[in-house]
Amino acid sequence: MSSKQKGMRILRTLALLLTVFVLVFIVFYGSLAESYDYDIGSVAESDIYAPRTFVDSYETEHQAVIARNSVSAIFIRSDEISEENSDNVEGFFDLVSQERSIYSASLTTTSPITSEQAASELSVNIKQTLDAEISAESLLVFMDMSDSSFSYIKDKAISMTELIMVDDIDESMLESSIDSQIDSFKQSNPSYSEYADSLKIVLDALLQPNSVFDETATNDSAENSYLNAIQNPVTIDKGALIVSSGDVITEHIYQNLVDLELIRVNSMNLVILLRDFVYVAAIVVCLLTFLSVKHKNDSYNPRTFYTILITFVISVFASVYLSELSSLFCVVLFFTVICSSYIGTFDGIVLSIGNLLLMWPIYSFDIELLFINIIAIIVCASLAGRTDKVSSSATLILLPTVMTVFASLSYGFINNYTRDEYINSMIFSLVSSTASLVAAVGIMPVYELFSNVASPVKLIILSQPGQHLLKRLFLEASGTYSHSMMVANLADSGAEAIGADSLLCKVAAYYHDIGKLDNPQYFTENQHDGINPHDKLPIMESIAIITRHPENGVKLARKERLPLAIIKIIDEHHGTTYPAYFYYKACEEAKAKGLEHPDVENFKYHGHIPSSRESAVVMLADTCEAAVRSTKQTDTDGAEALIRKLVKDKIDQDQLINSGLSFDDVEKIILAFKQIYAGVFHERIEYPNDNKNS
């Protein structure tokens, strides 16, 4: 890498770094909303509206606390209590069974006890053993019933207890569950219904609720309710009234103003600045990565680079003031037209979307703005970046504008806009796109004057036959003019076949031999009547004249301010080859004099080998056209064989190593040239000669 190239790279790097810092401050300044010096208890001096949709953190927290405190206590079934209840019922009947045995045995003694005494003793035992209060009167029935009835009632009581304890039974449910089991017992056992009331008294005394409070589950449920409310926050839409003039700033309102960054301190501004820096840096790094990968082997010329860079910054800067008019007043299409015209559709789309993303914070991240302008960018870049032909200014303005309005209608339809919202969106979208496109089209000539870039508009102007240099070629070097027109047809076809810039190739071919205007008669195509001035000149003088024409062409092109891309092709269209005719003639003269063959380096053109696909296409078209013309080929097969030989010679001489052409591209170019010559060599109908029979 030369020192000049290193210097240019350093300058570009510094320019990019400066641009990043400028963009950071533009985005910071543009997205920084008006701040207020209010505290809780202050009185608002004006209405304050939300500059963007935001989360109401105060109300969200309030609703979350309410949700947490509204959670009901959670109770779960206790297996331990359920088993304890069953054990109490079984223990009760064990005590009854023991007292019945004592009572029965006393009946055979001289001093028997009465059933009342037995029931009273049983009541005391139950109190001591089971800690349950059951009156002797209620227990008397258990002393008087038969053994079979007692056994049946015992089984039923245990079964009912188990059925009741299957479910979660709290205090309010216990009594109704017992009543339900007793009613079922009466219906299914009518002969034992006389024992139902006593059985109910026993169950009421012995059973406890088996549902207990679960503190862990209750706390978890409350926390989940709180988090669910936090994760579904209360939002306030952009444009909503936060506080009216004259209202007192409450804690809630104050928090909303803080959330909207409308009340700040210096430390908060630094945080916002850092945040904007990260945002801008992420977008710039993404764009630079795209450019470095896509343009790994080539680069934009300095004028194009700085033109696009300045336009990029201007578009973002303009948004700072235009955003105050409307959230839809955006001039990204201005940048899209300039960028796509200079460096192509795909690059224009990517860089324009990056440009739009940098404007986005200034417009409070408005989704409608993003949606409408992305559609407009794609349509606009597709038209402005065309290389096959140039879109008219009317088309370039009208079609993107129509698509912008259509996108606005589509977004409004999806979001169920009101009539006023539709009108507002359509008007500002229409004005924004029209103003951007008209400004871009109007200023394009100024940009072209400064950048000297081969934009489609510039190329189409240069392709007009009335251009000064083309007129000179036609009048002063008609043979070269005809040759250039044929080369242009070949180059156009070859470039289109491989997806290169066909318009650039065609126009560059028109001008590639303008250096011959210095001495047109010294070139074969301009010689008439068999007079060749080289016959009277020494070979080396002839070589100097012939090989100088690319250099002369570059000088003339710079004088006429032709685009740099065309100047480069003029310089490279012969590469570092040499005129074979004069070299072989010099070799024959040297041989005749007994001298060594002359050094071929002295016969070479002083240009550079093609550095782009377009330059290589023009070189091949120029070589093939001259050879086919000089050999007077009249059939397609012969022309194809000659073309393949000429292309192989260029490859063998390393003329295409920096062009970016693949072997597949070369084959496509050969077939495209063949197709052109197939049209040139087609047979024509012989018109009758009216004088034959006269």
Residue 167 has pLDDT above 50, yes or no: yes
How do residues 554-600 score in pLDDT, each as one tens digit?
999 989 888 888 999 999 999 999 888 788 888 888 788 778 888 88
User: In percent, how much of the chain has pLDDT > 90?
Assistant: 38
pLDDT digits 0-9 by tens, 493-548: 999 999 888 888 999 999 999 999 988 888 888 887 778 888 788 888 888 888 89
pLDDT at 694: 38
pLDDT band for position 276 (cuts 50, 70, 90): confident
Query: What pLDDT was estimated at residue 192?
Result: 86
pLDDT at 5 exceeding the cut of 70:
no
Residues whose CB is less than 8 angstroms from the CB of residue 255 and which lie 6 or more positions away in sequence, other chains included? 57, 58
97: how many CB neighbours lie within 10 A of its CB?
Answer: 14
Residue 44, amino acid: A
Nearest to 95 by CA among 57, 132, 42, 67: 132
Query: pLDDT per residue over 444-471, tens digit each?
Result: 777 776 666 676 777 878 888 888 899 9
Check residue 693 and give its pLDDT: 46
Q: With residue 235 as reference, give the H or E element that holds it.
A: strand 235-236
Q: How confident is the model at residue 383 (pLDDT cuts 50, 70, 90)?
A: confident
Dihedral sign, Cα of residue 542, residue 543, residue 545, residue 549? positive
Q: Which residues, 6+ apart, have CB-to-CB distance to 618 below 8 Å?
A: 487, 491, 505, 508, 509, 512, 569, 573, 610
Nearest Cα residue to 433 out of 402, 388, 470, 479: 402
Are the C-beta atoms of 178 and 204 separated by less than 8 Å?
yes
Q: Residue 207: pLDDT band by 50, 70, 90 thresholds?
A: very high
Check: pTM over 0.75? Answer yes or no.
Answer: no
pLDDT tens-digit readout, 49-60: 887 788 888 889
The lowest-confidence range among 75-89, 258-272, 415-429, 647-661 is: 258-272
pLDDT at 296: 61
The answer to whether residues 277 and 24 touch, using CB atoms and an 8 Å cutoff, is yes
CATH class of this structure's domain 463-680: mainly alpha
d(CA 380, CA 207): 83
Q: What residue spans define the domains of the chain?
A: 3-30+272-458, 75-213, 463-680
Is pLDDT above 70 for 387? Answer: no
Pairing, β 54-55 against β 235-236? antiparallel
* DSSP β-bridge partners for residue 77: 211
The single residue listed with the structure tokens 């109007």 is 442
Three-state SS annotation for 157-209: HHHHHHHHHHCCCCHHHHHHHHHHHHHHHHHHCHHHHHHHHHHHHHHHHHCCC
Quote the pLDDT of residue 599.
83
Average pLDDT, the chain: 86
